[in-house]
């Protein structure tokens, strides 16, 4: 943060503090805040996700399917073939936009001669996107996406079908595990601009309490879980 930005921020926060009739932050208060930021306390953990890793993976798959996603568990060598197979089963063209991510680079995309891939951000006319995931959460079957050059947020939102490749090793028990991983991976002042949590395809029940898929994003989500 630049000195100019820090000064402007301090002025805004001090104005809020004065309107609330609070004094300046004391030295002890500042030290307490800095200590909390340096070592954030861990929130509560849900008991059902406190499992050995194989059971976490199984629970994640169970909840993902309960939330209208489809799931396939495959070896790394079969990831690209599963993507093509899913597109064929769904009567979709073998064409997709894929995140330009090192996480996806090692799979055998070149071996799928019928699959046409474009790497980059999602556009309005894209029907299928393929991305990785920062983590999967066993507690709820949720996928966590960290934005950045290797994972444009548009890939999560624009295409009608979202195919997500997640490794078993990246499936964690609960949300608190994700925050720990984010701090470890990115560190102070380097956090992603956006963290998306996706639990199944987009849906809403706003109209007559009837669930409609694809309300605010993809209407189909296929999760490819890569065996460790």
Output the domain CATH number for residue 67.
3.40.50.10420
For 187: left if phi > 0, alpha if psi spans -120 to 50, otherwise beta; the answer is left
Domain count, the chain: 2
Q: What's the burial of 97, exposed, middle or buried (CB within 10 Å: 0-12/13-18/19+)?
A: buried
If asked whether residues 137 and 206 sit together in one domain, one would say: yes
- Tell me 25's DSSP state: P
If asked whether residues 31 and 60 sit together in one domain, one would say: no
CA within 13 Å, CB half, 19: 6
If asked whether residues 86 and 130 sit together in one domain, one would say: yes
Cα–Cα separations (whole angstroms), residue 89 to 35, 84, 125, 223? 53, 9, 21, 14
Helix (H, G, I), strand (E, B) or coil at 134: coil
If asked whether residues 28 and 134 sit together in one domain, one would say: no
Q: How far apart are CA 212 and CA 50, in angstroms?
A: 33
Q: How far apart are CA 223 and CA 86, in angstroms?
A: 10
Q: How far apart are CA 210 and CA 181, in angstroms?
A: 37
Neighbour tally for 127: CB within 10 Å:
15
If asked whether residues 116 and 198 sit together in one domain, one would say: yes
Token representation of residue 64:
């993902």
Element (H, E) at 226: strand 220-226
If asked whether residues 158 and 109 sit together in one domain, one would say: yes
Cα–Cα separations (whole angstroms), residue 77 to 88, 110, 156, 162, 213? 19, 12, 24, 20, 32
Domain, as residue range, for 22: 3-38
Token representation of residue 181:
């991983």
Q: How far apart are CA 96 and CA 104, in angstroms?
A: 14
If asked whether residues 17 and 77 sit together in one domain, one would say: no
- Nearest partner of 147 among 91, 204, 200, 194, judged by Cα: 194
Task: Report pLDDT for 47.
Answer: 86
If asked whether residues 115 and 200 sit together in one domain, one would say: yes
If asked whether residues 33 and 81 sit together in one domain, one would say: no
Q: What angle do CA 109, 221, 127 make, to 5 degrees?
A: 65
If asked whether residues 72 and 21 sit together in one domain, one would say: no
Q: How far apart are CA 223 and CA 68, in angstroms?
A: 11
Residue-by-residue pLDDT tens, the chain, 228 positions: 567 767 888 888 888 888 887 776 677 777 777 777 777 888 787 888 899 999 999 999 999 999 999 999 999 999 999 999 999 999 999 999 999 999 999 999 999 999 999 999 999 999 999 999 999 999 999 999 999 999 999 999 999 999 999 999 999 999 999 999 999 999 877 889 999 999 998 766 656 656 565 566 799 999 999 998
Task: Report pLDDT for 35.
Answer: 77
Q: Is the pTM of this model over 0.75?
A: yes
If asked whether residues 160 and 61 sit together in one domain, one would say: yes
If asked whether residues 71 and 118 sit together in one domain, one would say: yes
């Amino acid at each position: 943060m630049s000195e100019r930005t820090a000064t402007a921020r301090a002025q805004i926060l001090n104005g809020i503090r004065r309107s609330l009739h609070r004094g300046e932050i004391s030295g002890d208060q500042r030290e307490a805040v800095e200590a909390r930021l340096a070592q954030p306390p861990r929130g509560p953990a849900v008991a059902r996700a406190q499992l050995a890793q194989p059971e976490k993976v199984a629970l994640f798959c169970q909840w993902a399917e309960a939330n209208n996603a489809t799931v396939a568990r495959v070896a790394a060598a079969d990831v690209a073939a599963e993507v093509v197979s899913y597109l064929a089963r769904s009567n979709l063209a073998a064409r997709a936009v894929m995140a330009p991510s090192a996480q996806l680079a090692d799979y055998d995309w070149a071996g799928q001669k019928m699959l046409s891939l474009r790497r980059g951000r999602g556009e309005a006319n894209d029907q299928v996107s393929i991305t990785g995931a920062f983590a999967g959460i066993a507690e709820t079957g949720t996928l966590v996406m960290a934005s950045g050059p290797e994972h444009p947020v548009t890939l999560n939102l624009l295409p009608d079908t979202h195919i997500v490749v997640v490794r078993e090793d990246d499936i964690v028990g609960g949300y608190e595990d994700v925050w720990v991983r984010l701090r470890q991976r990115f560190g102070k002042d380097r956090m992603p601009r956006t963290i998306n949590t996706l639990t199944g395809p987009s849906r809403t029940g706003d109209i007559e309490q009837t669930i409609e898929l694809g309300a605010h994003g993809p209407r189909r989500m296929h999760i490819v879980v890569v065996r460790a």
